[in-house]
Amino acid sequence: MTDSNFNASDNSSNNPLLSTYDLAPFSEIKPEYIEPAIKQTLEWAKSEIENLLKNNTQFTWENLMQPIEALGNVLDKRWSPVSHINSVTNSDEIRNAYDACLPLLSEYSTWLGQNKVLFEAVQQLYNDRDKLNLDSTQEKILADELRDFRLAGVALPDDKKARYGEIQRRLSELSSKYEQNVLDATMSWEKHFVDASELSGLPESVLGLIEQNAKNAGKSGYLLNLEFPCYYGVISYADNRDLRQEVYRAYSTRASELSDSAKYDNLPIMNEILALRLELAQILGFSNYAELSIASKMAEAPKQILDFLSDLADKSKPQAQQELGDLKEFAKTQLNINDLQAWDVAYTSEKLKQHKYAVSQEELRPYFPVKQVQKGLFNITEQLFGVQVKEITDQVNKWHQDVQLFELQDSNGEQIARFYVDLFARSRKRGGAWMADYCSRFILPDGGQQKPVAFLTCNFNPPVGNKPALLTHDEVVTLFHEFGHGLHHMLTKVNYLSASGIHGVEWDAVELPSQFMENFCYEKEGLQVISGHYETGEPLPDDLRDKLQAAKNFQSAMMMVRQLEFSIFDLHIHSNDNPAKPVDIQTVLDTVRSNVAVITPPQWNRFQNSFSHIFAGGYSAGYYSYKWAEVLSADAFSKFEEDGIFSRESGEAFKQHILEKGGSQPAMELFKNFRGREPSIEPLLRHSGIAA
């Protein structure tokens, strides 16, 4: 390669994305810089690869894979900041620039995946692996690359290659539009109250939030919106049943033909996505898209997954029905609700939980100020894995004032990785919580060591008035979950980009570290360090902790069948093999619900229209991964239950066998190396309070 950092001569000095940087200059990235930078980077990368292939006949890791990974690294460091700001500071200008790059990236990806000369070079390198003394990680990377070439259509005739490229480009555009519609539909609804007379039941934290919303909008009183903290507060606590129904309807019909802004209806997009995914799968020789999706995962076939999910449903549904029966009885006798509806479930459940266990999320919130939770999370991480976490406060270039930057260090104070934290909900920020990789561990062309950097994003209640940000316990669990993904990315010891951190990890194993970390939020030792009343600093009292632990599995079977409903629905809509008979999405969902669910939403519910995981994320025909990986995570945590929750020895073993290995070995091998056996479903059922 001529220059691993690539400085184009035309206007590069004015474009920060084309400069050489360690951490991205977020405050300097203007929309007009985005498309030129990505376009030039892709053209340069394509030219470099063509030169590599032209100038070599005998390929080695050093003259083929190493430079190709270096090119990919430069592209990652230019595109990931753009993708991130599109998610967290969305505007029309950023969105247009982002969308303009999607077809360019899709075309480059297709060109790369269908490059027969490159495929043959990788095949030659793989065939010569013994002669070249390649290590096991290099061999796995090459085997995965060869599989991915085939899944990209490298062996297809030219007309089908062209069609494959068209489909991928269009799917990229559709997924982006789907996510934009969800964001726009969420932002388009609000409801203003001059006084609090209709808002009885809302806790102080929610009232403070919606009062702050009104002030930010230049209004008096209170302003409801569909950002999750506000939606959740109303649906869980508002005594006004009509208000709960109104907010539930607005939220559950977002981006549909029934929403106030029907122009954001996602149904045509969903139908086109499913049709194109089926066509793509059949071009590649698969019967349906589920088969294509699973070709690169741990699971072996759609039937194996459906059997797994059905088994869980069989074990969970009787208990879920009992839990719903208890809820209906409580609603009737205690709340005078004789016809429990979907908009009553969260409200009634919160009341029942309070009745049975004398504990509520709002009662716990004062004990979980953000700073104390972060401090406790970092303390647990340090105890388990022998690392240190330090905040970086000097001259941090960030996209919003709330953003923090931290450094992960080894026991000697040497930097291992860094991570950005962006915790609070705000306008023009995509909902939900996620970890994304900014850059990965990698040996650079000049021999230097690139350290991983992660983005950790949530949507919690921001600080209100003079109070610090206070989290519900559910939000604490979310933070631990995303940090588990971050640890997987940051603690890797793999130096090859294609297997570093979360790269190369089968998608249905990627939730193992995240779900594993959630467990510490319920343990006595964990709660001691993550809690501290925002006024007194006192940790969660024993009586509240006992109630929280007792309530841990409250309605766990109802939650289990809800996740199974999503997973089975996802597999079924991607298992259609007849292009002449397109899937009726609503009918499939209704059928799955009739078999699995215990709560049937109203006919006008359009949950699927904002199910971004499968229509705009990486979980298409893969949502089952949450339950699949939860079997692994529960079993992994059971070792800590046996050896001690903060067992340094077990923590070191988990780090060594799971976190440090990234995608360097198959996930099942790594799990067996850690646990000494195949995974068992029993710990998951036990942790969920469901009898095996």
For residue 34 the two structure tokens come to 């985005």
pLDDT at residue 497, rounded to an integer:
97
135-141: list long-range contacts, CB under 8 Å, 24+ apart.
Answer: 136/664, 136/665, 137/494, 137/496, 137/499, 137/664, 137/665, 138/61, 138/65, 138/496, 140/499, 140/504, 140/663, 140/664, 140/665, 140/666, 141/65, 141/496, 141/498, 141/499, 141/504
CB 345 within 8 A of CB 327: yes
pLDDT at residue 90, rounded to an integer:
95
CA distance 360 to 51: 63
pLDDT at residue 104, rounded to an integer:
98
**Under DSSP, is residue 245 helix (H, G, I), strand (E, B) or coil?**
helix
pLDDT at residue 13, rounded to an integer:
65
| Catalytic position from the list 482, 506, 511, 518 | 482
Q: pTM of the entire structure?
A: 0.94
Q: What DSSP string describes 510-554?
A: TTHHHHHHHGGGTSHHHHHHH---TTT-PPPPHHHHHHHHHTTTT
What's the whole-number average pLDDT of the chain? 95
Asked if 482 is an active-site residue, the reply is yes
- Show the domains of the chain with their CATH numbers: 12-113+115-151 (1.20.1050.40), 188-264 (no CATH), 366-552 (1.10.1370.40)
**Under DSSP, is residue 678 helix (H, G, I), strand (E, B) or coil?**
coil
pLDDT at residue 260, rounded to an integer:
81
Number of H helices, E strands in the chain: 26, 9
pLDDT at residue 201, rounded to an integer:
97
Summarised one tens digit per residue, pLDDT across range 526-561 is 999 999 999 999 999 999 999 999 999 999 999 999
CB 264 within 8 A of CB 177: no
Summarised one tens digit per residue, pLDDT across range 76-108 is 999 999 999 999 999 999 999 999 999 999 999
List, for the chain, all residue ranges whose pLDDT scores fall below the cut of 50: 1-11
CB 658 within 8 A of CB 674: yes
